[in-house]
């Protein structure tokens, strides 16, 4: 397997092609192929905002936070427990973070994959909001005294 090495500005340029806010920039796990963004980690309970989950994105598969098992031989659409912090290096992309110092990262998702994930997250956020409203948990509702 060959490892592609890119500069940090190339890395940013590829992410920019997804055309999404930073919470929705998407990566693909090299083991299971699951497309994931910061929002995916927030939904999985890894942290409550971008700053809290930033360190996992493109480095650990979101399955680590959902109790997923190790990756299956064939991708089945579900996340796994892979992390680039392990002893095995099976990644295919490295980004230059300092002169001559490369950091392994997950593959960058295609703009279509990133946008599909964005739509999914937006739809589930809307669904959650309407459930909350139906139950009377409107965020701007005052607590009755």
* 61 in contact with Zn ion (CB under 5 A): yes
* 46 in contact with Zn ion (CB under 5 A): no
* 35 in contact with Zn ion (CB under 5 A): no
Q: Which stretch binds Zn ion (CB under 5 A): 25-33, 39-47, 101-109, 135-143?
A: 25-33
* 29 in contact with Zn ion (CB under 5 A): yes
Provide, rounded to whole angstroms, the least separation between the CB of residue 95 and Zn ion: 19
Site for Zn ion in 112-141 (CB under 5 A): none
* Residue from the set 20, 26, 32, 38 that interacts with Zn ion by CB under 5 A: 32
Q: For the residues of the chain, what is the DSSP string, one character each? A: -PPEEEEHHHHHHHHHTT---GGG--EE-TTT--EE-HHHHHHTTS-SSHHHHTTTTTTB-GGGGTT--SPPSS--SS----BTTSS-----EEEEEETTEEEEEPEEPPHHHHHHHHHHHHHHHHHHHHHHHHTT--TTPPPP-
Provide, rounded to whole angstroms, the least separation between the CB of residue 134 and Zn ion: 34
What's the angle, vertex CA 70, arms to CA 91 and CA 66, rounded to 5?
105
* 31 in contact with Zn ion (CB under 5 A): yes
Q: Which stretch binds Zn ion (CB under 5 A): 41-49, 72-80, 110-118, 127-135?
A: 72-80
Judged by the rule CB under 5 A, the positions of this chain that interact with Zn ion are 29, 31-32, 61, 79-80, 82
């Amino acid at each position: 397997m060959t490892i592609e090495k890119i500069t940090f500005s190339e890395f940013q340029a590829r992410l920019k092609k997804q055309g999404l806010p930073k919470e929705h920039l998407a990566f693909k796990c090299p083991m299971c192929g699951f497309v994931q963004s910061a929002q995916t980690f927030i939904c999985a309970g890894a942290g409550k905002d971008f700053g809290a989950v930033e360190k996992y994105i493109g480095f650990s598969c979101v399955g680590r936070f959902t109790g997923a098992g190790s990756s299956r031989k064939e991708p089945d659409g579900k996340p796994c427990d892979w992390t680039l912090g392990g002893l095995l290096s099976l990644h295919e992309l490295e980004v230059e973070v300092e002169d001559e110092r490369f950091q392994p990262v997950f593959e960058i998702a295609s703009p279509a994959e990133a946008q599909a994930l964005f739509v999914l997250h937006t739809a589930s956020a809307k669904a959650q909001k309407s459930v909350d409203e139906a139950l009377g948990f409107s965020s701007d509702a005052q607590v009755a005294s």
